[in-house]
């Protein structure tokens, strides 16, 4: 098989929905009868070769002097605004098949971690350029989308797909509506099924290669998951920490709904939408302390959730939102982020996870640890603006037995 055909087959196997679809695409579009089994073997072999290269790069980065890590690669073009975003997707693994322990046998779904390194540009301002909450965020359609997001914290196994779609819809709408939002110049993507510590080093290594540590403006945008902020503190503490605005608003809606349910029989019953709009305005203006005070007041009046409270219990919704805002208040200074020209939402990582999921996620798709890592690596490479596989093919060819590496004459 020629290198050109291998490249086409690898692209098809790494990006299309399945190896069978990749084989059909090769036949119909390139007139090449390559079996799905052969494409699968190629993806696993070359993908693991890329994983080995990546792991070696991470070890070299770890071995650097700390002062060099803080400088970033001298070969990179330093972005005007460097933005790090990360989140997790889900895919099914079959490593546990045959294991007799029930708890392991039942755990089909695993998390793949995805990171985006965004080179952006934006304008800074002397004061908040948009101090008032956009009117469209208070419309019934926007609130309906936020309601779906709010339910993700309640029943993740039921609402995950709808909530992620809603988050992306709202985030992209906000970025479009705010003309002053940062403009994307390029995107690098990493994806892995490794643990959070390994993923943090992976993300830091790629950020170093992109010159991110040398950027004068850096931002780290994520949802409230503890692992995200551990990675921030370990590897990106110089980046401004920003809690994704849409997650912040969705918790407010969930709590407002809880208050409305508990007061519906009282003379001074509360309307969920009206209460949410008030809290959303406070969050937009950076007055999170007022939201916290209001939640505490409602909790004092309505009571703490019982120990056996279900996730849908209104008191549990209020308590969950209160804890969320108390934990992340320092990452919710949205007026200052707008003044500095920083992004408020994680829309780019949401759309990237959707692109990764098209290849690895599905009720009929089961992966082993090694094969999933190979595909995740290749899928991320193909989504990256720097085209890492271009230089990989040259290295791969030079490593083949009987292949001579030639260079062009000057």
The pTM of this model reads 0.89
In whole angstroms, what is the distance from residue 408 CA to residue 389 CA? 20
Q: Tell me what pLDDT residue 309 has.
A: 86
89 forms bridges with which residues in the sheet?
A: 112
Q: How far apart are the first and last CA of the chain?
A: 30
- The Cα 333–Cα 339 span in angstroms is 10
* Tally of structural domains, the chain: 1
For residue 79, is it within any domain?
no
Q: What pLDDT does 363 receive?
A: 78
Domain assignment of residue 75, yes or no: no
- Looking at residue 319, its pLDDT comes to 95
Contact present, 237 and 207 (Cβ < 8 Å): no
Over residues 307-362, the pLDDT tens digits come to 888 888 999 999 999 999 999 999 999 999 999 999 999 989 989 999 999 999 88
User: Who's near 126: CB < 8 A, 6+ residues apart?
Assistant: 339
How confident is the model at residue 159, as a pLDDT? 38
Tell me if residue 240 falls in helix, strand or coil.
strand
Long-range contacts of residues 390-396, Cβ cutoff 8 Å, at least 24 apart = 392/49, 392/50, 392/53, 393/3, 393/7, 395/53, 396/46, 396/49
Nearest to 285 by CA among 393, 391, 136, 132: 132
Residue 158 has a pLDDT of 38
Q: Is residue 110 part of a domain?
A: no
Q: Identify which has the larger pLDDT, 162 or 255.
A: 255
Mean pLDDT of the chain: 87
205: which 2 tokens? Answer: 């290594």
Taking the C-alpha atoms of residue 223 and residue 87, their distance in angstroms, rounded to an integer, is 8
Range from 119-123, 175-179, 376-380 carrying the lowest mean pLDDT: 175-179
Residue 202 lies in a domain: no
The range of the structural domain enclosing residue 384 comes to 3-64+368-399
Q: Give domain status of residue 333, yes or no.
A: no
* Contact (CB, 8 A) for 48 and 370: yes
Alpha-carbon span 278 to 249, nearest angstrom: 11
Which conformational region is residue 220 in: left (phi greater than 0), alpha (psi within -120 to 50 degrees), or beta?
A: beta
Residue 146: what pLDDT? 75
On the 0-12 / 13-18 / 19+ scale of CB atoms within 10 A, 409 is: exposed
pLDDT of residue 105: 47
Pair 75, 56: CB distance under 8 Å: no
Phi, psi at residue 345, to the nearest 5°?
A: -125, 165
The predicted model gives 175-189 an average pLDDT of: 81
Task: With respect to residue 53, please indicate whether it lies within any of the assigned structural domains.
Answer: yes
User: Which has the closest alpha carbon to 337: 241, 261, 405, 248?
Assistant: 241
pLDDT at 181: 83
- Of the listed ranges 173-182, 221-230, 243-252, 268-277, the least confidently predicted one is 173-182
Averaged pLDDT for residues 6-20: 95
Half-sphere exposure of 190 (CA within 13 A, CB side): 28
pLDDT tens string 112-161? 999 999 999 999 999 999 999 988 887 767 777 777 766 655 544 433 44
Label residue 399 exposed, middle or buried (CB < 10 Å: 0-12, 13-18, 19+): exposed
Count CB neighbours of 25 within 10 A: 21
Q: Render pLDDT for 186-215 as a digit per residue (tens, 0 to 9).
A: 999 999 999 999 999 999 999 999 999 999
pLDDT in the model for residue 18: 93
Q: Judge whether 352 lies within some domain.
A: no
In eight-state DSSP terms, residue 160 is: H
What pLDDT score does 403 carry? 52
The token duo for 22 is 């990749």
Q: Is the pLDDT of residue 164 over 60?
A: no
Reference 136, options 183, 165, 176, 184; nearest CA is: 176
């Amino acid at each position: 098989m020629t290198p050109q055909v291998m490249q086409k087959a690898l692209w098809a196997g790494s990006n299309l929905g399945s190896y069978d679809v990749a084989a059909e695409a090769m036949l119909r579009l390139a007139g090449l009868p390559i079996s799905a089994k052969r494409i699968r073997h190629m993806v696993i072999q070359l993908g693991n070769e890329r994983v080995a290269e990546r792991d070696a790069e991470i070890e070299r980065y770890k071995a650097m002097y700390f002062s060099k890590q803080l400088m970033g690669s001298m070969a990179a073009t330093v972005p005007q605004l460097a933005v790090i975003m990360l989140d997790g997707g889900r895919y099914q693994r079959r490593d546990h098949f045959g294991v007799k322990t029930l708890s392991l046998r039942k755990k089909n779904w695993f998390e793949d971690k995805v990171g985006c390194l965004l080179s952006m540009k934006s304008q800074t301002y002397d004061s908040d350029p948009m101090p008032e909450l956009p009117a469209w965020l208070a419309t019934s359609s926007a609130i309906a989308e936020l309601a779906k997001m709010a339910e993700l914290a309640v029943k993740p196994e039921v609402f995950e797909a709808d909530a992620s779609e809603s988050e992306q819809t709202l985030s992209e709408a906000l970025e479009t509506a705010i003309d002053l939002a940062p403009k994307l110049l390029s995107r690098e993507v990493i994806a892995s099924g490794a643990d959070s510590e390994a993923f943090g080093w992976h993300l830091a290594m790629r950020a170093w290669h992109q010159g991110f540590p040398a950027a004068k403006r850096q931002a780290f945008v994520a949802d409230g998951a503890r692992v995200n902020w551990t990675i921030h503190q370990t590897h990106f503490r110089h980046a401004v920490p920003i809690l994704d605005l849409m997650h912040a608003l969705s918790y407010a809606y969930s709590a407002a709904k809880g208050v409305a349910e508990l007061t519906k029989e009282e003379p001074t019953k509360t309307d969920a939408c009206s209460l949410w709009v008030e809290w959303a305005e406070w969050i937009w203006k950076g007055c999170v302390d007022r939201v916290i005070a209001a939640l505490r007041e409602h909790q004092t009046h309505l009571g703490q959730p019982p120990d056996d409270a279900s996730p849908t219990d209104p008191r549990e919704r209020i308590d969950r939102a209160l804890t969320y805002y108390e934990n992340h208040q320092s990452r919710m200074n949205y007026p200052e982020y707008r003044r500095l020209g920083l992004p408020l939402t994680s829309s780019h990582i949401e759309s990237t996870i959707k692109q990764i999921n098209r290849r690895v996620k599905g009720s009929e798709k089961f992966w082993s640890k090694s094969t999933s890592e190979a595909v995740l690596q290749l899928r991320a490479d193909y989504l990256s603006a720097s085209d890492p596989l271009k230089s990989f093919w040259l290295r791969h060819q030079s490593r083949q037995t009987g292949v001579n590496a030639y260079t062009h004459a000057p």
